[in-house]
Structure formats: C-alpha cells, structure tokens
Structure 1
Amino acid sequence: MGSELELNAESKPDRTITPVRIWWACWAGVWTVPIVLGIAYLIAHRNMPILRVRGLGLSLSAIVLLHMYWIFVQLHSTFYAVEPQACGYWIMGTWLPCGIALFHASNSRFLHVAKLQKRYAQPGNCLIDFRPPLRSKHDLVGRFRRLSYTAKVLIIVGISMLIQVFLTALMYIISRKWHSSWGIPGTEVHGTALEQKIERGRGWEWWPSVFWQFFWSWIIAPMVLWKSRNIHDTQGWRIQTIGCALANLPAIPMWHIALYVPAMAPVNEYWLPGQWICLSIYFMEIFTIFLPCWEVMRHQSLHRVTLDGIALQGSKTTINSRTKSFTSASTMVKGMIFGLKSRKGSVTTKASFDESILAMSALEFFLEDNPAPLQEFAALREFSGENIAFLTTVTEWKRSLPSAARDSTAPSDNNVKELTREHFNRALHIYADFVSLRHAEFPINITFKDLKKLERIFDSPTRILYGDNCKVDTIAPFETPGFSFRPFSTSAPSEDSEKTIRSSFSDDIKNEAEYSGKIPEEFDATVFDDSVQSIKFLVLTNTWPKFIRTFRTSTNYSNSLEAGMWNEHGP
C-alpha cells in the first residue's frame, strides 16, 4: 500500500485531500445513516415472529463490527499518512475477522432452525430436549453438549475470536515492524517514516487475519450454501443466507490481487484494496438489514389485509345473523384453496374467497379436518410449526378427556383422580414441549399473562419431571421426589450400557415419565384455552394467509393436497 494512496518517499505526513478522498469520506456518513435506521427498525420490531426466529443479536453484532471496519476503510485513504502506527493492523486483525465469525455463526442458525422445524412437519412430533444431569460437575464435554445451540455457537465462535486476537497480538509482538527495540531480528523495515508505514501494510504478519477470513468465507460459507439448497422459506431468510455467503467469496482473493498485482495500481488510485472487502460488506448489510426490514413491512401489509378481511367477514356475519354454518366453511375451504368445484356442484369465486377464506371458521375447519398440509407449510416454509403442533396437540388432549375430568363439579373418586393425574401428566408434556422457556426449543408466542398462568401450574412439576435444577441419577432416576416411571425395562444395566442408556433416556422419559406430586388446584380442562385462542389468532394473521396465497399459486402441490383431502375426508 502507498502508491495507490498517492504517497511516496518524499510525501509529507499529512492528510491527503483529493476529490476521490472527499467522496469516500462523505459516502461513509451517507451510507451509515440508513444502516443505523435499519438496525433501529429491526430492534423496534424484534418481537415479530419473522425476526424472533432469526436471532438478531448475533447478526446485528456482526454488522456493527463489519460496519466499523467499513468506515475505517473509507477514511483510511485520507488519514493514512497521519494515523497511529499499527492502527490498520489491529483493526484488520480484530474487527473484520470477529465480525465475519459472528456473521457466519448467525447464518448457521438458519440451518439449525430449518433442521429442527422438520420434526414439526409431521403431526405428533415435538422437540422436548431432555438433558440428563452430568455424573461429574467437571465433565466439560458433557456440560457443553447440554448447552443450547446458541450457547454452543457463541462458545465456538468466541474461542475462534480469542485465537484470532491471540495470533494478532503474537505477530505484533514478534515482528519489529512496529517496534524496533524488541522482536525477531530481521523483521525490521527501513527507509523514511512513510516508506516504513507503507511496508507495514503487507507481510506475513497479516496471515492469521487472512486465514480466518478465508476459513469462514471459503469453507464455512460453501457448506452453508450446500446444506440450504433444498430449504424454501417464505421469510427471505434463505435468500439472505445465500446472498451473504456468495458476497463473501470474492473479497479476500480480490484484496490480495489489488495489493500485490502491479497492474491494479491505476484501479487502486480510486478503489482501495480494502474496498473489495467493503464491497462484500455492502451486500451483507443489504441482505441482513434491508431485506428483513422489507419482509417486516410486507408482513405488516399482509397483516392489515387479513384483519380487514376478518372485520369485513365479521360485519357480514352479523348482518346475515350468522347464517353461514361450519358445513359451509368446509365447502368454502375445499373450494377456495384449490379453486375447484365441489362434488355438490358449487363453484367458488374469487370474490367469495376474498371475503370468507380469512375467517376464523375456515382456519378452524382446516385444523379440524386435515391440519397436516398447514403444519407442513408452517414447519418447512415459515419455521413456525410449533404453533400448529400446539393447536393440534391440545385438541387431541381435550378429546381424550373423559366427561368426569372435564366437569370440575363431579365427585372425585379414586378413578377420577387417577384419570386427572394421567391427563395432568399429558398436559405437563404439552407445556414442556411448547410453552416452557426452559425446555421448549421454540416456545410459542403467547401473552405474558397467559404464560405466567401456565407457569404457576406447570413450571415446578416440569422442573422436577425433566430434571431442571434437580439432581437425577441417570442410573436410578426413580428416587427423585415427585418423579415416577411406568415400568418399561426389568433388566439391570451393565457397565457397558451407560452410553445406550444416555442415548435412549430422552425418548424414554418423554414417553414413560410421570409426575406423582400434588396437582395444582388451577388445573382443569380449560387450562390451555386462552393460549389456544392467542395462537389461533397468530396463525390466522400470519401463517394462514401465506399458506392460502402460496398454495393457490402452486398448482402441482395444490392438486396433490386437494386429492389427498378429497380422498381422505370426502366432499
């Protein structure tokens, strides 16, 4: 570096003011404004489902570090001659690789969420993740495996960032480029002060920074690209992930070419070598900030249209004295989703679709009649499969309740108490699978009031049953107070079977564990009703309109679903 900055051995150590440098300095301020506004907009809407699933903490932290490096590059050409020694070295060795590492850690969350949501694509699946307590508090590997995915990623990325900072500091210490009194002999730079500054901009001291950027951009990013090839979501997350991964690929090669190929000198007068890295940062910021902002605004627009449709349908229902029955809702859904004529000969029009398909009765019929297509769409396309799974699971739970358990005024004999305990345990699993902030991988988004109500009833038994803050011996878990098992094995474990026990313990405890403590008085058949209504409205205004719009435009998939519905359920 140096010639591209219009510097030479006779240049004075002063600011370089040219039209090109003024342009880059102004551009640094102009581009920063929408970036800050976009980050603020995302933070303000961070509780929206399409942003909650992304995990904004990692991605926005990465963007802040990368943008700080980007600002430095824009001003570097102007203040290069007067900036402190090793300033560029430390910024290149810390801000850039750490930002890239955080960014690709946030990108990997896309694959993690998509993988887990696949388990919601089929009815009856859930994500309870029971982690049996460690036999030794000093088992670091076991402790690491018990951590959540986000915690694991932060630890791995944190370690890699510490290694990068350590290597940057080590190269600074052993090289005499920045300090002539100590370091490895022969690593000094000679010449005028400005010639020495120019030579400090290249050399083996920069290799650790280059290596880590190459590692994240050319090893991790292609892996993410390959694994995400078959994921098709409706939130733009796949486009964001692929776009950012592709934008990272040419940065380091072009930076090296600009730095070491003499033919690039004319280009470097206007476009610094570091600008090639900044070019990838441009695209990363566009895909990470502006694309989600656009998705939020599109979601809000669809939300308003849905609410307007619901309001219109509600007013017409009132005027017509609620003449539309559940049967008409079934005909409407089957006809409107697939745009076909029912077997009774009625034809669904687009006008009636716009007026009726967004009604709650249509959603409730679909959940009652055949929720599998909607659940598959929510899990694989919108990453909100937990909502549909929660609704269907609670419906099945309420159907299984005997009349004696539904009526709180009925006399409580031993049979009723046993049935109540059995259904309380099933409700406990529902709470752990879908509601608990400690155990559910994707907790459903219910109101604070409803969450606290369910926590008062289920939180303490859940901690006992699933071992949270409770020491459960993996060899003899039955001795924990308030914890019991239905017999499922009579054979004693051998010393060689501990690994098998650990691997199967999660499934066994989910299917066989029972809470034997006191059942809270607040528990009854209506315990989930408020949460169900909240999630139904969330699905109605988020997932349902996207499902209708997507599958009406997907002829092949719609035809297959339509055939399955008619064959399975009739007209």
Structure 2
Amino acid sequence: MGSELGVTADSKADIDLSPVTIWWAVWACVWTIAVVLGMAYLIVHRNMPTLRIRGLGLSLSAIVLLHLYWAPVQFATMVGPLLPGDCQYWMMGTLLPCGVALFHASNARFLHVAKLQRKYAQYGERLFISPTPEEKPKGLIARFHRLSYSTKMLTIVGIGMFLQIFLTILMWLISRKWHSSWGIPGTEVHGTIMEQKMAQGAGWEWWPGVAWQLAWSWIVAPIVLWKSRNIHDTHGWRVQTIGCAIANLHATPMWLIGLYVPAMAPVNTVFVPPQWICLSIMFIEIFTVFLPCWEVMRHQSLRQETLDSIARWELKVKSTGSEAKSLNSESTMVDSRISGWKSANGSVKTENSYRDSIMTMSALEHVLERNPAPLQEFSALREFSGENIVFLTSLAEWKNSLPATLRDRTLPRDSNSRDVIRDHFNRALHIYAEFISVRHAEFPVNISSQELRKLESIFEHPTRLIYGEERECVDPTSPFDKFTFDLPSPTHSDSSEKPMKSSTKSSLTDAIKDRVQYWGDIPADFDASIFDAAEASIKYLVLTNTWPKFIKDRRDSVGSFDTLAVSMEV
C-alpha cells in the first residue's frame, strides 16, 4: 500500500533536494505565477461581455481553493517525510472538495444561462407571468423551489460542502490513526515514525473524500456534458465544460491505483498519488483561467478589426463624397450576405469594400430594421446576449408607434392624448422592467450607471408597484454574479394599478396589455427620447461585440449550408 505523500518505511526525515524534487518545486512556482497573472488579467477585464456572463467571483474562488491544494502537493517528494501525518488528509478533506464543488456550481451556470436565453431565439417570443395572484404552497420544500437559481445552487453546494467537512472531522475524531488517546480501539497505527506516517496516508478514513470526487467527476460532470452537447457558444464555455469533464475522469481511479497497487511504488517515488488529481486541477485552471484570457484577447482583436473597418469605410465615404450612394450600395450588400447570396464575379477589391461596409453601424441598423431574426437567434443561442437584440427591436417597435403629442411636447394635450401617452408609458415601463431594471430584468442590458440612475428615477417606483419587489437587486456592473434569473411575480397596489385580462402574447403591445397597468402620475421627464442614450449604448455594444462575430459566422457557414439562403431570406 502506498502513501499520499510518497512516504515509505525507509524514508528519512530530511529535505530531499534531488533533481526530481527541485524540478517539482520550480514547476510549482512557475505555474502558480502564471495562474495568478491569468486571474489578475481576468479581474482587470472583468467588465468585458465574455467575462461578465461567467461570474468570475465563483469560478476564481474555486480556482483559489483548488490551487491551495495543488501547490503543496508539488513539494510532497521534497518535504513529505517532514509533514505531519494528517496534513494531506485535511487538505484533501477540505480544500479539494470545496474547490471542486464551487467549480461545478460555477460551471452549472452555463446550462442555466443557455436555457434561459432560448426564449430570445425567436423574434418577440418572451414568457410573461399572469398578474393574477395565486396562493403559494407552504412548507420548506416549496420555499426552496421559490428561491432563485443561484440561491438554490449555492444551498445545495453548501450542504454538500458542510457534509464533506463534517465527515472529514468525524473520521479524524473517531480514528486513532492520528491520535492514540481517543477514538475507536483497533484503529491505531504502529511501528516506526515513518511506518506510522505511511499507514496514515491511506485507509477508510479517506473514503468520504473519494466518494465526493467520484460523484462530481463520474456523475455530475458527465450529466452536464451530455446536456451541453447541442450548445455551441462563442465564449469557449462549452469547450471548458467538455475539457474539464474529460480531464477529471482519470483523477480518482488513478489516485486509488497509486495508493493500493504495489506495482505503482516506483512511480510514486517521483509522481505521488495526489499528482493524478493535481493533473486534473491543472486542466481545470487551463480551461477556467487561460481559455477566458484567450477569449478576451480574441474579442479585443476582433473589436479593433471592426473599428478599423468602420474607420476605413468612413474615410472612403468622405473621400468620394457620395454618402447616399454608398449607403444604398451597403444595404444591397448586406441583403445579399444575409440572404446567403454572393456574386461569382466579385473581385478582391469588392470583397474588401464589402467587408468594411458591412461592419458599420448603418449596416447593423439595416439588419435590425429589415430582418433581425438571424442576428437575434445568433446572439441568444451562441452569444448568450439575446436581450440586447430584443431590447433594440422592442424599443424600435415602441418608438415607431409613438404619437405626435409625445414626440412634440409643445402640442396641446386633451384627455384622449393623455390616455395614449399613458398607454405608451406603460409600454415603456414594460421595456424598462424586462431589460433595464436591476431588480426585475433577468438579463439587465449593460448601460452606464449614470443612464441607469436616470431611468430608475422615472420608472423604478412604478415598476415596483406593478412588478413587486421580490427580486434581489443585481449589481449593474456584474449582473450575473448573484445569478438571480427567476421571473418576478407581479403584485397589486391599492391605488396605482388596474388589473387587465391575462394571456400569453408574442408582441410588445399585447404583452403590456396582459400586465397590470400603472395609473399613477406620469413623470414630467418622460418623453420620446427617454431611451435614446441606452439605445445608443447597446447598439455600440452589439456593433463591437456581437455583430462582427455574427458576420464571421455567416461568412464561414454560407458556403456550407444550402438552405441558408432560404432560412435567412429578407
């Protein structure tokens, strides 16, 4: 039988400075520096869209715990005989399971976000809750089901972590392996100090930790892997899930083989059994730290390429002095690309001109106006940012239906116009609650804090009256950290709302009629331009993030799918 830290009966209580132990020590320092730099890079760029959706707080906390287990193991062959016999036991019973649990809790967000984003995949299709109050079932289980996804996930993981630590402490107390003065008789270890340390490095006391690792790597991870088989995101999240799930499969079996198979004794002298687990931890760190770093760099490169293309196109338009003609030509090229058609006689010059023109804001606006469905499906199913496109299209629908009295505040307003204005205020209120409010929106769009406060001063109080205050407030700079994605349950106010007939609709107009409406005073600052700044901000975000990825995806796939022209025809 082997030992966790490679201790044998012949080991000496000295520091081993052989080439192998020195190599492991140097490797531990180099890899730790790389991981710390990678984590620092992610923290610095935490506000980028590809990182905001990941929830860095949870994933990096998992990496810290796992690395605190990984680093000491690299020094096992050097100082293993000098360490207390229960040192590795406590690390494996606390740091490792807690780190693995937090990692899987973080990675489970991938499936949940992908599932919720599906509702944005089709234009205008959103889920609405009836304002009719229903009696909520009572009991502890019912209360648990009403919790937000993040709270339920953290509760389950927290219970599992508590049980693991409790069992670790219990096993240590009842076994006399590490203390001879109390515990179950017959569990003592005998012999020399090294023979005792060797015996302390394995045994039934380690079983809770083994069961925990097997559960995560052979049950939870494959289930997540299977459920994510049809998800193809642009953030590298699916690649991370696949890589980490596969990399964890060997860890526990090889750890057990290293401990209990005598033929592994020569290997254990240079590669102790916990190194098999550490190998999995390294892959987790690669896919959780370094892969997102690469995604950030790729996003920055693509964003800069987009800005350069826009600058070249604007320079060309100014130099030719034919802006109207250029815009008309641009619309034609956009239509041809989105419909899957490409001229067989197109020259390199034409293709370069097309590449620059299609990256412009006017090209994006053209697609949003004429045929937003392909872009919306891509952003929802691949980018997990479908709320941005739905927000822009819903806002365009709202603005196109605005009456003249709201567009021009100098016009006189009678009772009929005031009713129309109130109706459009309720529609604007719905847009705010669905896409902007940090208390009620499932995926709040990313706007500046100044603009958010401005909109909150106008809409937040009516929104709370209509939608209630059940949803926990989300940090606008990192809306996914709390991961509160449960739909709000509307409540009734005594004087400021009026119940309407409830049904499920697809358009913004019908949806707002299904809601309880606001009948209080309309703020004086409400006008047709109330969302202009937010709209400009989200359009720029889509232009520099989602739009170039969408164009690249269409360019890569247009020659591979014969049905693309039909499915995306304008």
Q: Scaled by the length of structure 1, what TM-score is found? A: 0.89
- Is the contact made by 1:119 and 1:126 (CA closer than 8 Å) also made in structure 2? yes
**AA of the residue aligned to 1:293:** C
One-letter amino acid matched to 1:297: M
For 1:4 and 1:90, the matched residues in 2 are separated by 12
Does the Cα contact within 8 Å between 1:128 and 1:440 map onto a contact in 2? no
Please state how far the C-alpha of 1:184 moved relative to its aligned partner.
1.2
Choose which of 535, 538, 554 in structure 2 pairs with 1:532: 535
Q: 1:359 aligned to 2:360?
A: yes
- Greater displacement, 105-114 / 140-149: 140-149
Structure-2 change in CA distance of 1:487 and 1:9 (3 Å): closer
Q: 1:8 to 1:162 in 2, by over 3 A?
A: closer
Q: Structure 1, residues 266-325: CA drift from partner, whole Å, max 9, x if none?
A: 111111111110111111111111111111001100110101111112222223332336
In structure 1, the partner of 2:258 is 258
What residue is the counterpart of 1:397 in the other structure?
398
For 1:478 and 1:540, the matched residues in 2 are separated by 40
Residues 205-220 of structure 1 aligned to structure 2 (within 5 Å)? 205-220=205-220
* Counterpart secondary structure, 1:436: coil
The within-5 A match list for 1:326-341 is 326-337=327-338, 340=341
Counterpart for residue 374 of structure 1: 375
- Taking only the aligned residue pairs, the percentage that are identical comes to 61
| Equivalent pair of 1:552/1:558 in contact (CA under 8 Å) | no
Distance 1:67 1:14 in 2: 25
Q: Residues 477-488 of structure 1 correspond to what in structure 2 (within 5 A)?
A: 478=492, 480-488=494-502
Describe how 1:135-154 pairs up with structure 2 within 5 A: 139-154=139-154
State whether structure 2 residue 536 is matched by structure 1 residue 562. Answer: no
> Residue 82 of structure 2 aligns to a residue in which SS?
coil
Q: 1:136 to 1:193 in 2, by over 3 A?
A: farther
Which residue is 1:551 aligned to?
A: 554
Q: Is residue 4–residue 88 contact of structure 2 (8 Å, CA) maintained in 1? A: no
Q: CA RMSD in A?
A: 2.8
Is the CA contact 2:129–2:489 (under 8 Å) kept in the aligned structure 1? no
Cα distance, 1:104–1:341 mapped onto 2, change above 3 Å:
closer
Distance of aligned partners of 1:479 and 1:527 in 2 relative to their CA distance in 1, 3 Å threshold = closer
Query: 1:234 — aligned with what?
Result: 234
Q: Is the 8 A contact 1:4 1:272 kept in 2?
A: yes
Q: How far apart, CA to CA, are the structure 1 residues paired with 2:512 and 2:210?
A: 48
Find the counterpart in structure 2 of residue 446 from structure 1.
447
Q: Deviation digits for residues 90-114 of structure 1, max 9, x if unmatched?
A: 1000111111111111111110111
Taking the aligned partners of 2:208 and 2:249, their CA distance within structure 1 comes to 18
Shift of 1:553: 1.0
Letter matched to residue 548 of structure 1: I
- Give how far 1:377 is off: 0.5
Structure 2 counterpart of 1:531, which letter?
Answer: A
Higher relative contact order (CA 8 A, sep 6+): 2
Which position in structure 1 is the counterpart of 2:462?
461
Is the CA contact 1:317–1:324 (under 8 Å) kept in the aligned structure 2?
no
Provide the C-alpha distance between the structure 1 equivalents of 2:328 and 2:566, rounded to a whole number of angstroms.
Answer: 19
User: What secondary structure is seen at the aligned counterpart in 2 of 1:230?
Assistant: coil
Alpha-carbon distance in 1 for matches of 2:131, 2:24: 53
Q: Is the partner of 2:104 in helix, strand or coil?
A: helix
The more displaced of 548-557 and 297-306 is 548-557
1:283 has 2:283 as partner: yes
Whether the 8 Å CA contact 1:373–1:561 is kept in 2: the answer is no
* Residues 95-494 of structure 1 mapped to structure 2, 5 A cutoff: 95-126=95-126, 139-321=139-321, 322-324=323-325, 326-337=327-338, 340=341, 349-468=350-469, 478=492, 480-488=494-502
CA drift of 1:420 comes to 1.2
- Distance in 1, matches of 2:362 and 2:495, equals 45
Q: Which amino acid aligns with 2:199?
A: E
Structure-2 separation of matches of 1:126 and 1:225? 27
Check the 8 A contact 2:77/2:270 in 1, yes or no.
no
- What per-residue deviation string (whole Å, max 9, x for no partner) do you get for residues 421-440 of structure 1? 11111111111111111111
Secondary structure (helix, strand or coil) at the match of 2:81 reads coil
Q: State the distance in 2 between where 1:130 and 1:82 align.
A: 66
3-state SS in 1 of match to 2:325: coil
| Code of the aligned partner of 2:61 | S
Q: Is the 8 A contact 2:70 2:278 kept in 1?
A: yes
Residue 512 of structure 1: how far off its partner (Å): 2.6
Structure 2 distance, partners of 1:164, 1:368, is 55
1:503 matched residue in structure 2 = none
Unaligned runs of 5+ residues in structure 2 are: 472-487, 504-509
Question: Who is 1:62 aligned against?
Answer: 62
Q: Which runs of 5+ in 1 are unaligned?
A: 490-506
Tell me which of 525, 548, 561 is aligned to 1:522.
525
Shift in CA distance, 12/334, structure 1 to aligned 2, threshold 3 Å: same
Alignment check: 8 A CA contact 2:405 2:411 kept = yes
Aligned to 1:86: 86
After superposing the two structures, state which structure 1 stretch, 125-134 or 305-314, moved more: 125-134
